[in-house]
Amino acid sequence: MISKRILITGGPGTGKTSIINKLEEGNFFCFHEIIRSMTQEALKSNDSTTIVSNPIVSVSDPYHFNLQILNGRIDQFEEGASQNDHLLFYDRGIPDVLAYMNYFDQPIDDYFINACKKHIYDQVFLLPPWKEIYISDGERYESYEQATEIHHSLLDIYRQFGYNCFEVPFGSIEERYDFIIKNIK
């Protein structure tokens, strides 16, 4: 069986995890965001106690950190081939890494670009910035304004790789879930 790979992405604090959790409740197979656990590890090994932005800029080797995220997302993508579900949902995708690298003005080499070209999602749903639900937490350090800028970086990168992103409208988790399910090709 060939599964459809459906990507849920967006800037920080847009409701991705809530939607992924709702999809799981609906018995859909979902791959979870890997960066939260990586962020915790980076913070444990970091001497800085005053991080005010994404930890990508405060780790000792941002390239290696980005490479770990990229490889983790590649692993998730490839693991999808062994799943028997018709639909596979991903909380963030491989191009997200490039969008963040672009946002933080970090160099992007061919390995990152080729990973995006090789691993293609069937459909991308983009959650826009939503000030009313945005909160910072122990792993999210961006301001709402930065989250909005990251949204634009995500949209730019996905378009560069030929994706037509479906923007998920504001609404309850159930409404957003319904929008995604109804718009899967």
Report pLDDT for 148: 92
Report pLDDT for 142: 80
Instruction: Provide the residue type at 53 as one letter.
Output: S
Distance CA 174, CA 115 (A): 33
For helices 16-25 and 173-182, what crossing angle results, to 10°? 70
What is the tens place of the pLDDT at every residue in 145-183? 888 999 999 999 999 999 999 999 999 999 999 999 999
| Reported confidence tier of residue 82, pLDDT bands at 50, 70, 90 | very high
Report pLDDT for 58: 55
Report pLDDT for 49: 42
Q: Which overall architecture, per CATH, does domain 4-170 show?
A: 3-Layer(aba) Sandwich (3.40)
Mean pLDDT within 67-81: 95
pTM above 0.75, yes or no: yes
What is the tens place of the pLDDT at every residue in 125-150? 999 998 888 776 655 678 888 889 99
Which residues, listed in sequence order, are joined to residue 126 by a DSSP beta bridge? 9, 167
Distance CA 114, CA 138 (A): 32
Report pLDDT for 48: 44
What are the phi and psi torsion angles at 79 (to 5°)? -60, -30
Report pLDDT for 11: 92
What is the tens place of the pLDDT at every residue in 46-64? 544 444 445 555 577 889 9
Mean pLDDT within 3-11: 96
